[in-house]
């Protein structure tokens, strides 16, 4: 918004988000699932922000703001339950085709939110990583905020959050294949030694365990070019709520279902 009221509203929402980030709300362990049965890695397709914003506020952008608060909450809930890694789909390579005004608003949110998330992550010892298959398209101010966020939390070791931004899984796999081909051409890798492990270590998630759970909100039942390689044996959960509406009870229900009702056989 260009008017003064819009700026006041944004400042109010930022202050509220800052206080909420640093609060201890919902940081108790509620699932009752033994830690050995808790998923180590949860990946989330955070869908429905625009729909939620239009329905509640008449503004898709405000839906994205509420979605960013839900992400901070969700990370706290995961930590409380004993999850070790959270990977979230924040902005896909296909999202660059959206309306330019919406993209500009989203990028503004990323710039502001990077700083809030960085401070929260340092407080809670959360390591933040950004996974991008097309880095060149990220605006300079956003890239600078992301780099500071990543660099300053590199030493944190209580929890890992991967933020997929300007990310597409097919592009990620192509980039990994290019890296393999380059090494084969240089003679530093024999073609007979190319294995799943060699490809996996060149993916953006290299060194990170594959997700035990992939969760998608808003009732859609699509993968949308997200972690196609990594989710080979992930359990899928589709939640019929938009992302800003997700509660800790929803996460607890998914963890309990995973631990108690689903048997992972890995093809055996």
245 neighbors 72 (Cβ within 8 angstroms): no
- Is the pLDDT assigned to residue 1 strictly greater than 50? no
| Confidence category of residue 28, pLDDT binned at 50, 70, 90 | confident
3 state DSSP class of 156: coil
Residue 256 backbone dihedrals phi, psi, to 5 degrees: -65, -40
Higher pLDDT, residue 113 or 164: 164
For residue range 181-229, list pLDDT tens digits in order.
999 999 999 999 999 999 999 999 999 999 999 999 999 999 999 999 9
Report the alpha-carbon distance of residue 67 to residue 46 in Å, rounded. Answer: 8
**Is 190 an annotated catalytic residue?**
no
pLDDT, averaged across the chain: 91
Give the residue, 11 or 209, on which the prediction is more confident: 209
Alpha helices in 58-189 (DSSP H): 60-81, 100-124, 140-152, 169-186
Residue 47 a catalytic site member: yes
Judged against a pLDDT cut of 70, whether residue 119 lies above it is answered with yes
Tell me what the mean pLDDT of segment 106-130 comes to.
93
Query: Among candidates 24, 19, 73, 16, which has minimal Cα distance to 44?
Result: 73
pLDDT at 3 over 60: no
Q: How far apart are CA 181 and CA 51, in angstroms?
A: 42
E-state strands within 156-234:
159-167, 213-216
| Catalytic residue selected from 26, 95, 175, 257 | 95
What pLDDT shows up at residue 207? 94
Task: Look up the pTM and report it.
Answer: 0.89
């Amino acid at each position: 918004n260009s008017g003064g009221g819009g700026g006041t509203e944004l400042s109010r929402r930022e202050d509220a988000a800052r206080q909420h980030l640093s609060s201890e709300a919902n940081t108790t362990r509620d699932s009752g699932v033994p830690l050995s049965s808790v998923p180590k890695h949860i990946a989330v397709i955070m869908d429905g922000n625009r729909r939620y914003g239009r329905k509640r506020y008449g503004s898709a952008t405000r839906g994205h703001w509420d979605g960013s608060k839900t992400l901070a909450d969700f990370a706290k809930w995961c930590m409380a339950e004993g999850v070790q890694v959270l990977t979230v789909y924040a902005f896909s390579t296909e999202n660059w085709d959206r309306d330019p005004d919406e993209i500009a608003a989203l990028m503004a949110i990323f710039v502001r939110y990077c700083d809030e998330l960085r401070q929260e992550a340092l407080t809670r010892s959360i390591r933040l990583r950004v996974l991008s298959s097309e880095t060149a398209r990220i605006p300079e101010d956003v890239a600078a905020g992301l780099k500071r966020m990543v660099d300053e939390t590199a030493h944190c070791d209580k929890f890992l959050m991967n933020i997929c931004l300007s990310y597409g899984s097919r592009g990620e796999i192509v980039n990994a294949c290019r890296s393999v081909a380059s090494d084969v051409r240089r003679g530093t890798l024999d073609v007979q030694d190319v294995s799943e492990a060699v490809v996996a270590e060149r993916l953006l998630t290299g060194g990170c365990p594959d997700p035990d759970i992939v969760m998608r909100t808003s009732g859609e039942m699509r993968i949308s070019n997200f972690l196609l390689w990594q989710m080979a044996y992930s359990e899928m959960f589709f939640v019929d709520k938009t992302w800003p509406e997700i509660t800790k009870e929803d996460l607890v229900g998914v963890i309990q279902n995973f631990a108690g009702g689903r048997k992972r056989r890995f093809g055996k």
